[in-house]
Amino acid sequence: MMSSFMFMVMEAWRALGSNRLRTLLTMLGMIIGVAAVVLMLAVGSGAQYSVNQSIAAMGSNLFIVLSGAQTSGGRFMGMGTTPTLTLGDAQAIGQLSNVAAVAPVVPGSAQIVYAGNNWSTAVSGTTPGYLSVHNWPLAHGRNITESDIRTEARVAILGQTVSTNLFGDTDPIGKIIRITGYPYLVIGQLSVKGQSLNGQDQDDTVLIPVTTALHQLFGSQFVDSVRFIMAQAASLSTMIQVQEDMDALLRQRHHLRGSKPDDFAIRNLTQLAQTASDTARVMSLLLGAIASISLIVGGIGIMNIMLVSVTERTREIGIRMAVGARRRDILLQFLLESIFISVSGCLIGVCLGVGGAYLVMGLTHTTVIVTGFSIVLAFLVAAAIGIFFGFYPARIASLMKPIDALRFQ
């Protein structure tokens, strides 16, 4: 029985080989469909991966509390223009239950000098909570401490980009750098974080105690006011409660009663991140779905050609039946041919799709991930399409009456 099957496989090969151009064109539908599916899934999962990476780097269960908008003659100046948030607000938020960490931030930029090198970068005044809020461990050295805050110590933690530009490969810890002319002791070095979602280099930064930033570096006109406060909830499920608590707390602290509008805004960053992640996943699915349509079109191409082939070979079917082929032998023969087309097309399509994915990666420098899953899926779908679209023509062939098939001219 096995050798008969092999004979049929060889015959399918010969039958398809006898009309190479037609076989190739039919296969092309499958090739393009499979290549499109593999490529689109690779691009989609690459995008999803990048988004998830950025989200993980940002920290989880995050809130950002911004100070309110200033109005000048009826014109709103944008969020953060009114210095309504204070260090006291940040401390009070830190006391709330289910708040894991809090970090007020006073951002700015400054010129930093070490020996003959200088570098202009973002300098943020903040508190020890900054690192845990951003899920950002130190490469080495130590974090800012409460006593640094109290004493307005001139200490600094360097991001990797800053460290590399000022110190090269040497260890910066214990060295003295100058920020706008004043000496600061380097106490720590941040681990590499990479790009943010919008492409900024997050490692190009320096952290100093918030009090030092307020009173010495930037010399704020409003004492103790911070631009924004980062807060981290203990878990995803407590986020709504934490948001409500913070809102109530800040309204109380800012003496806002009744219908007076908030002079601050609380943003849920995790929600944004979740949205971004969902968007990437939906996009990935959508790309796959659109590509699948071409696979179905390819399948219809196979069905079309198999129908033509069955009609052309009616006499052959009659001869086979005359020498003893059963209905299932004829069915199997034509089914084998359509499966042959779809699976070979799939093989070539997978190669093209994977090649295309790496080409896209090389040309655009975006992350592209070819998963084994997408290849296995493409194969299964191709085989299923071969069987599904091949079955109808094969069945027509198998149900022919031998006498009619033999008489066919």
Partner 1 sequence: MSAIPLIRTLNLSKHYDTAVGKLVVLHEVNVSIYPGEFVAIMGPSGSGKTTFMNLLGCLDVPSSGEYYLQEHTVGETSSDQLSKFRNQLIGFVFQGYNLLARLTALDNVALPLVYAGWGKEKRDVRALEMLEKVGLARFASFNPNQLSGGQQQRVAIARALANHAPLLLADEPTGNLDTATSDEIMMLFTELSQRDGVTIVLVTHEPDIARYAKRLIHFRDGRVLDDSPHTTSGSTSVPST
Binding site for partner 1 (CB under 8 A): 1, 3-4, 6-8, 11, 14-15, 18, 315-316, 318-327, 329, 401-403, 406
Residue 168 vs 324, nearer CB to partner 1? 324
Asked whether the beta carbons of 390 and 330 are under 8 A apart, the reply is no
Residue 150 vs 326, nearer CB to partner 1? 326
Closest CA to 38 of 348, 364, 297: 348
Nearest-approach distance from CB 18 to partner 1, in angstroms: 6
- d(Cα 390, Cα 307) in Å, to the nearest integer? 9
Nearest-approach distance from CB 322 to partner 1, in angstroms: 5
Closest CA to 369 of 54, 51, 47, 42: 42
Helix axes 327-364, 269-312, angle to 10 degrees: 140
Residue 318 vs 393, nearer CB to partner 1? 318
DSSP state of 139: E
Is the dihedral angle over the CA atoms 193, 197, 199, 202 positive or is it negative?
Answer: negative
Counting beta carbons within 10 angstroms of the beta carbon of residue 259, is it exposed (0 to 12), middle (13 to 18) or buried (19 or more)?
A: exposed
DSSP state of 214: I
Instruction: State both tokens at 399.
Output: 């149900």
* Alpha-carbon distances, residue 187 vs 12, 102, 144, 389 (angstroms): 74, 21, 8, 69
Asked whether the beta carbons of 268 and 239 are under 8 A apart, the reply is yes
Asked whether the beta carbons of 374 and 48 are under 8 A apart, the reply is no
Residues whose CB is less than 8 angstroms from the CB of residue 51 and which lie 6 or more positions away in sequence, other chains included: 197, 276, 277, 279, 280
Nearest-approach distance from CB 307 to partner 1, in angstroms: 20
Q: What is the DSSP string of 281-337?
A: HHHHHHHHHHHHHHHHHHHHHHHHHHHHHHHHTHHHHHHHHHTT--HHHHHHHHHHH
Counting beta carbons within 10 angstroms of the beta carbon of residue 132, is it exposed (0 to 12), middle (13 to 18) or buried (19 or more)?
A: middle
Residue 139 vs 319, nearer CB to partner 1? 319
DSSP state of 261: P
Judged by DSSP in three states, 218 sits in coil
- d(Cα 165, Cα 169) in Å, to the nearest integer? 9
Residue 260 vs 326, nearer CB to partner 1? 326
